[in-house]
Each structure stands twice: as C-alpha cells, then as structure tokens.
Amino acid sequence: MRRIAIVGAGQAGLQLALGLRDHGHEVTLVSDRTAQEIRGGHVLSTQAMFGPALQIEREAGLHLWERQTPSVRAVRATVIDPPGEAALAFTGWLDQAAQSVDQRVKVAGWLELFQERGGRVEYGTVDRAGLRRLADRHELTIVAAGRGELSGIFPRDEARSAFDRPQRILSCVYLHGVQAPPAPAELHTRIVIVPGVGEAFLQPALTTSGTCTILLWEAVAGGPFDCWQDRPAPHDHLERSLRLLREYAPWEHALCAEAEPTDKTCTLYGAVTPVVRHPVARLEGGGEVLGMADALVLNDPVTGQGANNAARCAAVYLRAIDERGDAPFDAPWMHGTFEAFWQHARHATAFSAAMLGPLPGHLQRVLAAAAENEQVARRFAAVYADPSQGEWLLDPAVADAYLASVH
C-alpha cells in the first residue's frame, strides 16, 4: 500500500483516487469544495464523453448515471454560409454511444463515493507552500488542478504548445425544453460551424434536474458570436443565444424557441489558451510532484476532448502506480508515466488544434465529401471518439488520397 496525495477533485483526480482506493492504496484527496457546494454551484464544463472513455468508467464501476443519461449515437455537423443557410451538412454515426453527465452531478457523487470507500478528503485550496507540506507526508503527490496558482508550477512545453493565446471565447448554458429534431437526429450532438465566426454545439446531457441540452458557443474573438463579456444571467444568455440562432441557424432556433434554463447557475464563461506543460515540478527545498490531465494538457473544447483525456490519463496513471510496486516514484518514473499518457493526448491535441481553424483546404474537402458519402462522415466522427484514428485527417496528402479512394 502506497501513500498518495491528489490535489484536485475533478474527473481526473477523482477517477484516479477511486481507482487507487479500490487497489488498496492510502489516498488523500484535496478538494476546494464539498459535494454539496459542487451540486449547488455553477456548471463546470460541457464534458462530452465518447465510447472509449465511457468504457474506462464502466470497467472501474463508475458509470453510475448511465441509464438516466441520453445516449448520443452520432455527430451532426452543418456548415453555414451565408448566415441562415446550410452550405453542407452530414451525420457521422458513432460506433459506441457518447454521453454527457453534468460534472456537478458526477464530481459530487464520486466525491461522496470516495469518502464511503475510506478515502481521506482535505477541503481547501493549496498554494506552493501547502503543496510542499503535502508532498512531505506522501510518497507521491499528483496535481490534477488545471487552474489557479498550482497550474503555474509546471513549465510550458514550447515544442508541444501551438498557441500563446485563446483561440475562442467560450460560453454555455444548460437548457430544458429544447425540442428534438425529426428522427433519428434526436440522438445526435449537433454542431453548427460558421467559418470565421465560430461554432455552436447542442449536446444532450444529464444535469441536476434531469435530462437537458447543453448549448456551447465557441466564438472567434471580435466576431458576432463574441458577445458574452458581460456574462449574462441564464435567461439573458438564452435570449442572446436565440437571436444568434435565428440569424445563423433558424432551424435550431425553432427547436430552442420554448427552452428554459435548467437552474440559476447553469451558465459558464471563459477562454482557454491551449497548452502542453512539462509534467514534473520541483518544489522549493527539494522533491518533485507530478501533474496530470488538464494541469498538463489543456485543449480548447472545440472537439470535446477534455473529459476523455482526463479519463484516459487517470487509467494510465493508475496502471503505472500499480506496476511500480515498492519502487520510488522518482522523476524518471514521473516523466515516463506522462509520456505514456501523451501517446494518446498528442492526437487529441493535434485534432483540437486543427479544428480551431481557419480550416485548411484538405479539411474543407473532407467536410464536403462527408456530406456526400456516409463512409467519410462516419470516419470523421470516429476521430472525436478516438483521436488516434485521425492521423489521416491531419495530413493533406493522406486525406486527399483517402478521398480519392472512396469516390
């Protein structure tokens, strides 16, 4: 049994903490909020989880809300040009269903489960001095908090980081009463793409008050979708969203016309600078800590990879800790453990960067072909579920050769 501390009680930190407890380790988890505070707080993310990541949760016995959560069977993408008209559209069916559980539901539930299973929770925030004290008491300390002071302890990896500023301005609102499109489109995640302006995503989900639809706006800075600086309250957010949908995607406006916000704290605003950081931080006075998931690999949510990366990272770290036996968790082991995760995360990072656009010519040709060919549409959708299947999509020569082969 090893003594391990985890700072950060999100998807990655809690999944790892629960797995470590199940495997007999002594685990201290640091959370900045109680389960009750999480349930009553603002939404934390949009958290689309695709089939491979959901399977990780099932195998760990953590799929606690699967029966109540809508199962998404396909990705439906529509490219708008000019506003109000669809230039092309396609549906890419997924091999495995995707789901989205509001992290206010999942994180709160998992936090309570961790305590029921004998895990120790310390509530509060941790600064660098507190992190040193925590590390002194444990054989391994992992930072799973991607925001705040501790995110700065891991240096930026310039070779793996493509951006130095946010590529989108983000806002989302959770809604009840969004109508379903005609069958079978009610099983879709719907993406509205407006070149040069941004994207809108409509994602079926489960929230604290039942099933809902998450409406996420990804706005190019300075464009028509970049209108959230005042962080409007939920009803004002909805009214502004309806105006945008009426102009750019009137068919979606019709489906959302009778919607209502799910609760008083169902909005989220922000911007993400995509970045990859070095995985090991050396503490003042000696000793190292290991980062994980968003603390090290932070992507814009344009391809919905955040929660999926977190689930995979937790699974990789759990296996590496178990395989370590009684050997020390030294810096070489930390670097090797992160590199094992990076073998997946590099694909998610490359896919997300490519979709932040402007879309290069070969990607435009892929989208056009997907509108005409179900095989292309299905292969494109498969990259969301497993970005390692997307190398063909990112290489112009390979993409064009594939398109030629299916015509």
Contact 341, 377 (CB under 8 A): no
Reported as type and span, the H/E element at residue 74 is: strand 72-80
pLDDT in tens, 323-364: 999 999 999 999 999 999 999 999 999 999 999 989 999 999
**In 3D, which of 368, 390, 373 has the Cα closest to residue 81?**
368
Q: Residue 372's CB: how many other CB atoms inside 10 A?
A: 12
- Which of 381, 356, 317 lies closest to 218, judged by CA? 356
Region 191-202 average pLDDT: 97
- Give me the mean pLDDT over the 381-405 stretch: 96
Confidence of residue 69 (pLDDT cuts 50, 70, 90): very high
pLDDT band at 182 (very low <50, low <70, confident <90, very high): confident
Spatial contact of 59 and 13, defined as CB atoms under 8 Å apart:
no
Average pLDDT, the chain: 96
pLDDT at 180: 87
Q: What's the pLDDT score for residue 165?
A: 97
Domains by residue range for the chain, with CATH? 3-61+102-162+274-355 (3.50.50.60), 72-100+169-271 (3.30.9.40), 361-406 (no CATH)
Res 186 pLDDT > 70: no
Span 199-210, mean pLDDT?
A: 97
Look up the pTM and report it. 0.96
Alpha carbon distance 143, 4 (integer Å): 11
Q: 278-296: per-residue pLDDT in tens?
A: 999 999 888 999 999 999 9
Angle at CA of residue 153, ends 151 and 159, nearest 5°: 85
Judged by average pLDDT, the poorest of 177-186, 285-294, 295-304, 361-370 is 177-186
pLDDT score, position 258? 97
The pLDDT confidence band at residue 71, using thresholds 50, 70 and 90, is very high
pLDDT for 92-147, tens place per residue? 999 999 999 999 999 999 999 999 999 999 999 999 999 999 999 999 999 998 67
How many whole angstroms separate alpha carbon 179 and alpha carbon 263? Answer: 18
Looking up tokens 């995707």, which residue turns up? 98
- Alpha-carbon 223 to chain mean position: 24
